[in-house]
Amino acid sequence: MKHAQTIEIIRKLKAKKVKFEHGLSDEEVQQIENKFNLKFPPDLLYFLQKELPVSNDFVNWRSGLKSKSEAIAIRKKLDWPFNGMVFDIEKNGFWIEEWGTKSDNVSENIATAKRHYKTYPKMIPIRSHRYIPSKPYKAANPVFSIYQTDIIYYGYDLAHYFAHEFRFELSDKFSEIDEPRFIEFWGDIQS
C-alpha cells in the first residue's frame, strides 16, 4: 500500500473503533522479526510502522517484545495454522497427496506433515485467525482465514482484507483485484 492508501485504511479502521499506538520503529521491527523468526511482507510492514493496531484482536507486536505472556500469545498465533492442521490429521483424517502415502500411525503422519509444513510460506498473524504469507516477499500477498484446514481467501491483498473484515468501501485510490496471487500450499488447500 502506498502512503495515501495506508492513511485511508487507518482512518477507516479508527472509525470502526480500532485503537492504534505509534508505529513500530525500525529497531522494534528487527527485534520482532528476530524474536519470532519471521519477516513482515512490505505492505504489512509499512502499515505497522505507520501506526500499530492494538485492539480488536490485532496482534500487539510491541507488547510481545515487553511481555512474556504476550510473547507466548504471539507464538501460539504463529503455531495456530500447523496446530489446526494437526487437529484435522488426528480427528478428521486430513491428508495431502503430495505428502506421500498416509500411514496408519498418526504420529508418523504428523511428522511428515511437519516436515512439509516447514517448507511452505510462513503465515504471519494479523488479527484473530487472519494471516498473510511472508513469501513471496512482495506487497499484495493475499490474506487467508485459517481455521484448522478450513482455509479461505479473506482478502486478495491487505487493503481488501481490511475492507472485507471491517465492512467498509475502498476509495478509487485502490485498484480492483480480480484474482489473488497464488501462494504455494495455502492457495492449493483453501476451500
Domain ranges of the chain: 3-189
Provide the residue type at 72 as one letter.
I
User: ω before 142 within 30° of 0 (cis)?
Assistant: no
Q: What angle separates helix 68-92 from helix 106-117, to the nearest 10 degrees?
A: 130
Lowest mean pLDDT among 5-19, 70-84, 168-182: 168-182
Q: What cell numbers appear for 178 in the block?
A: 480480480
* Residue 11: per-residue pLDDT: 98
* Residue 190: per-residue pLDDT: 63
pLDDT tens, position by position, 126-142: 999 999 999 999 999 99
Mean pLDDT over 155-167 rounds to: 97
Which residues are within 8 A (CB) of 21 and not within 5 positions of it... i.e. 6 or more apart?
51, 52, 54, 62
Mean pLDDT over 167-185 rounds to: 92
Q: What CA–CA distance (Å, rounded) separates 163 from 169?
A: 6
Mean pLDDT over 6-34 rounds to: 98
User: ω before 136 within 30° of 0 (cis)?
Assistant: yes
Q: How far apart are the first and last CA of the chain?
A: 27
Instruction: Report CA dihedral (38, 42, 45, 51) to the nearest 10 degrees.
Output: -170
To which H or E segment does residue 89 belong? Answer: helix 68-92
Band (pLDDT 50/70/90 cuts) for residue 56 is confident
Band (pLDDT 50/70/90 cuts) for residue 2 is confident
pLDDT tens, position by position, 82-125: 999 999 999 999 999 999 999 999 999 999 999 999 999 999 99
Asked whether the predicted pLDDT for residue 148 surpasses 80, the reply is yes
Q: Are strands 51-53 and 123-127 parallel, antiparallel or unpaired?
A: unpaired
Asked whether the predicted pLDDT for residue 186 surpasses 80, the reply is yes
Q: What cell numbers appear for 124 in the block?
A: 504471519
